[in-house]
Amino acid sequence: MIEAFHSNWTAPFFELNSHNEYYIEDFEILTPIISALKWREKNGAIRMITDEVGAEYYKNLGIDSIWDLGIDLSLNNIKDDIDRSLFWAAGKIYALKTQKEPCVMIDTDFIVWESIEEILKNQKICTIHKEKITNEVYPDKYFFEMKDGYIFDKDWDWSVLPSNTAFTYIADEKFKEYYTKCAIDFMENLIGGKDRIVNMVFAEQRLLSMCANKMDIPIKEIMSLEDLFGNKQKIFTHTWGYKDSMKRNYIKRKDFCIRCIKRIINDYPEYEGILANIKELQPYYNEIKYLKLNKS
């Protein structure tokens, strides 16, 4: 069985919403519940690595028990040396730094439906899929404006395909230390640019591949991008690309949330009471109960 972790650094939220109380979208409440419970059922134990704001939010929702290894507050310790609005997903890199290998890093919008022990067997690094290099997302090193004294490692191969880290397995301590150090060094030394995608995915995804390549460690690509989002595979679900649609279209949001709630109740009926008490989910839950009552 393999230990995994979710992560949620709330500081970037307040950079963009300085006058708001912290919240996450209703569908983003549901995906980590399924992700954590399904991981526990099929693959091992899981924790949430967050900060005090995140921990309190999950506790108030009543879902803190979904992580059987508990909630870790390590992300309280992230320094102010990086741009929090620019590096909005930096929390997962800092979280990874604190974990012992082997471990699995799973985004809260990523679900593993089946056992993947055989897929990970004898591997040092696995990621869900490779990314294509395009200038819009993965420009060359001259795009980045760095502090004086920072030098990109001459041994990094910029032609190596980046690795999507929505699901990442690492079983090599030296690699984990090297990769997280390089990513944090980059984030601390960037001084130019406001592109929240280009800068973040370089630190998170491109550096992972370049660091592995330098250490001569192959990265196992679990499946192609086309296979992941095709209709044939039933092992993984990643909702990243669907989030914008749900934010813009209430019908899609409602349908997704109802399907998630039904799945949780079906697979983990002991959590129905928790779902019923989450204010953000009550319209969907009440509709499910109403339709069920009318059918009977």
Q: What is the pTM of this model?
A: 0.94
181-204 tens-digit pLDDT: 999 999 999 997 789 999 999 999
For residue 135 the two structure tokens come to 């200038």
260 and 121 share one domain: no
Cβ atoms of 38 and 111 within 8 Å: the answer is yes
Confidence tier at 295 by pLDDT (50, 70, 90): low
The mean per-residue pLDDT over the stretch 261-287 comes to 97
Per-residue confidence at 294, pLDDT binned at 50, 70, 90?
A: low
Q: What does the alpha-carbon distance between residue 120 and residue 126 come to, in Å, rounded to a whole number?
A: 7
Question: Within this chain, do residues 48 and 72 fall inside the same structural domain, yes or no?
Answer: yes
Q: What is the mean pLDDT of residues 150-174?
A: 97
293: pLDDT confidence band, cut at 50, 70 and 90? low
**Is the Cβ–Cβ distance between 278 and 254 less than 8 Å?**
no
pLDDT in tens, 254-266: 999 999 999 999 9
Residue finishing a domain among 222, 242, 262: 242
Give residues with Cβ within 8 angstroms of 42, minimum separation 6. Answer: 112, 113, 114, 115, 116
Q: Are residues 237 and 279 in the same domain?
A: no
Question: Could you give the number of structural domains in the chain?
Answer: 2
Q: Which residues are registered as beta bridge partners of 6? A: 48
Side chain identity, residue 76: N
184 shares its domain with 263: no
Are 176 and 73 part of one and the same domain?
yes
Position 296 pLDDT exceeds 60? no
- Residue 260 corresponds to which amino acid? C
pLDDT at 77 over 70: yes
Check whether residue 138 and residue 174 sit in a common domain. Answer: yes
Whole-angstrom distance, CA of residue 291 vs CA of residue 278: 19
Question: If you average pLDDT over residues 65-86, what whole number do you get?
Answer: 94
| pLDDT on residue 13 | 95
> Based on the domain organization, do 174 and 98 belong to the same domain?
yes
The answer to whether 175 touches 211, Cβ cutoff 8 Å, is yes
Is the model's pLDDT at 291 over the cut of 80?
Answer: no
Q: What is the mean pLDDT of the chain?
A: 94
Q: How confident is the model at residue 81 (pLDDT cuts 50, 70, 90)?
A: confident
pLDDT score recorded for residue 72 = 98
Provide the residue range defining the domain that includes 222.
4-242
- Same domain, yes or no, for 48 and 186? yes
Q: Is 16 helix (H, G, I), strand (E, B) or coil?
A: helix
CA–CA separation, 128 vs 106, rounded Å?
10
Shared domain check, 284 and 211: no
- One domain, residues 283 and 180: no
Same domain, yes or no: 255 and 212 = no
SS3 139: coil
Higher pLDDT, 225 or 117: 117
- The predicted-structure confidence for 204-239, as pLDDT tens digits, reads as follows 999 999 999 999 999 999 988 777 777 778 899 999
Q: Are residues 180 and 125 in the same domain?
A: yes
Distance, in Å, from the CA atom of 260 to the CA atom of 155, rounded to the nearest integer, reads 45
Q: What is the pLDDT of residue 7?
A: 98
Look up tokens 């993965």; give the residue. 138
Q: Give the highest mean pLDDT range of 9-18, 87-96, 237-246.
A: 87-96
